[in-house]
Structure 1
Amino acid sequence: MNEGLVVLVRSIIAFFSLLIFAKILGKQQISQLTFFDYALGITIGSIAATLTTDLSSRAWPHFVGLLTWCLLGYLMEYVTEKWRYAAKYIEGEPTIVIMNGKIMENALKKMKYTATDLIGLLRVKDVFDLSQVDFAIIEPNGQLSVLKKPEYEPLTPKDMSILKAPSGISTELIYDGILINENLKQLNKTEKWLMSQLKTHEIKDVSEVFIATLTPSGSLYIDKYDDHMLKVTDIGDYKGPY
């Protein structure tokens, strides 16, 4: 019973300490983390976990370790923000692996990447033909940035001298069968207008709708619970042992 209470108290201390330190260190999406940031986060989390459950030792040494790692992490973050040369060595810098359509083999070897790794990263970027690539750059976080050759770039309205009005962000009008009146008012629409739109889709009641959204440009999307799909496409290639 006493051990459970100690673990509870330590867990609360570790939880809020980690929360405070995370706020101090700042926010970064996982996709933007460098390897150093990733390793730092794992280490800090591991120390916090040990602080919580290691009852064979006192809590304060673990807390000092947690505080030290967080302070050093914050110091490195401050140094890389203020001193570009330090950032170059701590966080790394972008590396060109394809230049003018040619693969930079030495750059790949330096980064411990193989041609297979590069091709896989290109596929993630929807590039399945190496001849379409003009430049490819591996960023410090390991992601690949790709610039296609001009002839393979998709046309935009600007290229064709076409003025296109912004579509805006979709706003939910119905969610899980529930009407959201606040969003209707925000878009200067009435419930009567919405019901008339639903009738054109042979929908008699809001409860039949799974989700309905509207953009500022007037694009309305409606999805019913019962979609009457005669056959659902299966993209799996393994049916299992049955």
Structure 2
Amino acid sequence: MQEPLVVLVRSIITFFTILLYARLVGKQLIGNFTMFDYINGITIGSIAATLATDLSSKALVHWIALTVFIVLTIILQFIGNKNRFLSKVQDSEPVVLMQNGMILEKNLSKVRITKDELMQQLRSKNIFSPVQVGIAILEPDGSVSVLPHSDYQPVQKRDFNLPGQPPQLTTELIVDGKIITQNLSQRKKDEDWLMEQLKKKGIHSLKEVSYAALLPNDLFYVDKFEDNITDKLNISDYKGPY
């Protein structure tokens, strides 16, 4: 009975220690984590878990280790904010991978990225042809930023001196067959209007609807649970078991 009680106390101490230290470290978008940030976070989590559950050693030892990692993290953040050179030493710097549709093989080799991985990143940016790329940059967090070639950049209203409209958000109306009445009223719509829109799409029951939303341009979008997908767009050349 004594061991569970000790684990309970140590877990409570660990929980509030992490809460406090997380506030001290500050907010950072997970998508902006570098490899070092990722490994450092895993290490801190491992130390915290050991602090809570390892009864073979004193809690103070693990608490000191956890505190040291947090203090060093804060110091590196401070140094990085004050010194640009040291910031680049910590987090590296962007690397150009493509320019004017051409792959820069030397840079690709330097950051150890394959062409398949590069093409995957391009597709995630809705670019399916290398000739569309004006410049592609590998960011310190591992993501790839892509500026399309000028011939493939979308035309904007300001190019024609057209008046703009205030930005709006997509409003979810149905999720997993359930109507979100609050969102419906916010867009000044009612359930009769919603059911009429579903009928226009050939849908007669909410049970058929996986997701429905009113887009910023007031278009009605709906996705059904039943998906009619063909196998015509098979891009795989791997004949493996999975």
Q: Provide the alpha-carbon RMSD of the alignment.
A: 3.3
The verdict on how the C-alpha distance between 1:17 and 1:134 changes in structure 2, with shifts beyond 3 A counting, is: same
The verdict on how the C-alpha distance between 1:155 and 1:100 changes in structure 2, with shifts beyond 3 A counting, is: closer
User: How many percent identity over aligned positions?
Assistant: 41
CA contact (8 A) 1:101 1:134 kept: yes
TM-score, with structure 2 as normaliser: 0.77
Question: Paired residue for 1:233?
Answer: 230
1:124 aligns with 2:108: no
- For residues 42-73 of structure 1, what are the alpha-carbon distances to aligned partners after superposition, in whole Å with 9 as ceiling and x for unaligned? 11111112112221111011111111111111
Is the deviation greater in 45-54 or in 123-132?
123-132
- For residues 123-180 of structure 1, what are the alpha-carbon distances to aligned partners after superposition, in whole Å with 9 as ceiling and x for unaligned? 32125655554433222122222334333x2432448738475773221223333332
The verdict on how the C-alpha distance between 1:201 and 1:118 changes in structure 2, with shifts beyond 3 A counting, is: closer
Alignment: residue pair count: 234
Letter in 1 for 2:47: I
- For residues 190-236 of structure 1, what are the alpha-carbon distances to aligned partners after superposition, in whole Å with 9 as ceiling and x for unaligned? 233333334444555545544332134321123455x4x6x643568
CA distance in 1, matches of 2:184, 2:106: 58
Question: Paired residue for 2:214?
Answer: 214
Helix, strand or coil at the partner of 1:174? strand
Unaligned runs of 5+ in 1: none
Is the deviation greater in 54-63 or in 92-101?
92-101
CA distance in 2, matches of 1:22, 1:95: 31
CA contact (8 A) 1:168 1:216 kept: yes
Question: Paired residue for 1:23?
Answer: 23
1:141 aligns with 2:141: yes
CA distance in 1, matches of 2:222, 2:101: 44
Is the deviation greater in 214-223 or in 2-11?
214-223
CA distance in 2, matches of 1:219, 1:166: 16
CA contact (8 A) 1:96 1:107 kept: yes
The verdict on how the C-alpha distance between 1:200 and 1:38 changes in structure 2, with shifts beyond 3 A counting, is: closer
Helix, strand or coil at the partner of 1:155? coil
Question: Paired residue for 2:47?
Answer: 47
Shift of the alpha carbon at 1:90?
Answer: 1.4
Helix, strand or coil at the partner of 1:125? helix
Is the deviation greater in 118-127 or in 95-104?
95-104
The verdict on how the C-alpha distance between 1:3 and 1:93 changes in structure 2, with shifts beyond 3 A counting, is: same
CA distance in 2, matches of 1:83, 1:159: 39
Helix, strand or coil at the partner of 2:3? helix
Helix, strand or coil at the partner of 1:146? strand
Question: Paired residue for 2:160?
Answer: 161
Shift of the alpha carbon at 1:26?
Answer: 2.5
The verdict on how the C-alpha distance between 1:175 and 1:132 changes in structure 2, with shifts beyond 3 A counting, is: closer
Letter in 2 for 1:219: L
